[in-house]
Amino acid sequence: MSELEILLRDYGLWALFFAAAFEGDLTLLTTGVLIHLEIWPAPQAVAVAAGGGLAGDLFYFWLGHGTARRWLTTAHGERLRPRIQRAAERFGLGSLFIARYIYGARVATMFFWGMRRLPAWKFALIDAVNCAQWALVLTGLGYLFAGTFEHFVGDLRLVEHWLLVALIVFGALLALRHFWAERTRALAEREVRP
């Protein structure tokens, strides 16, 4: 067993929990591949991924409860709010299920329902079902396409060090993108204020 496999078996589910909470889709597709490689047991990995997704959604829902008024006055809030409101009016709480699969809409939708003061117990119950479905669908897709992925890349065990480097670079790029977006948003808000 390689060092990367040992690391993934020992600490990988913790990483999966946090990655599912804040990133999601790519994490779950990768989880399906790792289940296919028999590094993680499927029921345990899917449960951890769903729990991580729910924890992240509850965090953004809670932020919506607490920072709603301030966020509404930002340029970003003014731009996104009408779109999310239209989706919420058209689909109701079903928008939680739809936004899960639209890149970039998940966090804003969770925040929106927190701002609307949806009861937390109701949100948690609906979103738990949503996260379980999401985890099953995306890890299933990752599992199904793992063989195809191995065919194109070759034996994954031969490139595991490169995969680890790629994950580190990907994480650094996500952090840089987040920093840059926040900096741009802060500058735009500063220009809007007198």
Q: What is the pLDDT of residues 54-85, one digit of tens each?
A: 999 899 888 887 776 666 667 766 777 777 77
The domains of the chain are located at: 3-192
- pLDDT at res. 92: 81
- pLDDT at res. 50: 92
- pLDDT at res. 149: 67
- pLDDT at res. 13: 81
- pLDDT at res. 47: 93
- pLDDT at res. 55: 93
- Counting as low any pLDDT under 50, the low residues of the chain are none
For the question of whether the overall pTM of this predicted structure is more than 0.85, the answer is: no
- CA quadruple 19, 25, 27, 28: dihedral sign: positive
Q: Can you list the alpha helix ranges (DSSP code H) found in the chain?
A: 3-22, 25-36, 42-72, 75-91, 95-99, 105-115, 120-144, 146-153, 160-192
- pLDDT at res. 160: 66
